[in-house]
Structure 1
Amino acid sequence: MGEITWRYRNFELDASFLQIKQTEVTQISWYKYAFYIHVISAVLALPAGFTQFNKTILRNYPRVHHVLGYLYVAIILGCAAPSGFLIGMKANGGLIAQIAFTVLACLWFYYTLQAVLRAKIGDFKAHKNFMIRSFALTCSALTLRYWKVILVYFFHPNPMDLYQLIAWLGWIPNLLLAEWIINQNK
Structure 2
Amino acid sequence: MTTIENPANSGTRDRRATPWWRRPWTYPLGLIVTVFLVYSLPPYLGLDPARSRIPAPDGAGWYYPVLVTHIGFATIAMVTCALQIWPWLRQKHPVAHRRTGRVYVFAGALPASVAGFAIALAAPFGPIGAVSNVLLAALWFGCTVRGFQTARARRFGEHRRWMVRSFALCLSIISNRVWAVVWATVFLPRLDTTFGGSEIAMTQAISGLTTWTGWVLPLLVAEWWLGRNRRHRL
Mapped partners of 1:102, 1:114: distance in 2: 18
Structure 1 equivalent of residue 48 of structure 2: 12
Once the 2 structures are TM-superposed, how far is the Cα of residue 96 of structure 1 from its aligned partner? 1.3
1:134 aligns with 2:166: yes
Counterpart contact for 1:91–1:101, Cα < 8 Å: no
User: Per-residue displacement from partner, 1:4-41 (whole Å, max 9, x unpaired)?
Assistant: 111111101111324x3252xxx224212210001111
Structure 2 residue 206 is the aligned partner of structure 1 residue 162:
yes
- The answer for the alignment partner of 2:139 in structure 1 is 107
Structure 2 letter corresponding to 1:76: A
By how many angstroms is 1:124 displaced?
0.4
Deviations 1:56-88 (A, max 9, x none): 2111100111111111101111x2000000000
Cα RMSD of the aligned pairs, angstroms, is: 1.4
Query: What corresponds to 2:19 in structure 1?
Result: none
| Distance in 2 (alpha carbons) for counterparts of 1:180 and 1:57 | 25
Paired with 2:182 and 2:209, the residues of 1 have a C-alpha distance of 12
Unaligned ranges ≥5, structure 2: 1-35, 192-201
Corresponding residue for residue 89 of structure 1? 121
Question: Can you give the 5+ residue segments of structure 1 that lack an aligned partner in the other structure?
Answer: none
Name the CA distance, whole Å, in 1 between partners of 2:127 and 2:75: 26
Q: State how far apart, in whole Å, the 2-side matches of 1:149 and 1:43 are.
A: 22
Q: Which residue does 2:215 correspond to in 1?
A: 171
Cα distance between partner residues in 1 of 2:47 and 2:125: 24
Of 175, 179, 190, the residue aligned with 1:147 is: 179
> Structure 1: how far apart are the matches of 2:204 and 2:183?
13
Figure out how many residues of one structure are paired with residues of the other and give that number. Answer: 181
Counterpart residue number, 2:73: 41
Q: 42, 56, 74: which one pairs with 1:21? A: 56
Contact 2:150 2:158 in 1 (8 A): yes
Q: TM-score, normalised by structure 2?
A: 0.74
Preserved CA contact (<8 Å) 2:57 2:123: no
* Counterpart residue type for residue 179 of structure 2: W
In structure 1, distance between residues paired with 2:52 and 2:152: 41
Q: Structure 1: which amino acid aligns with 2:88?
A: T
Q: Tell me, what secondary structure is at the counterpart of 1:21?
A: coil
Q: What is the CA-CA distance between 1:114 and the residue it aligns to?
A: 0.2
SS of the equivalent of 1:28 reads coil
Shift of 1:54: 2.1
Give the drift of 1:167: 1.4
2:130 matches 1:98: yes
Deviation, structure 1 residue 154: 4.0
**Structure 1 CA distance, aligned partners of 2:95 and 2:67?**
32
Number of the residue aligned with 1:63: 95
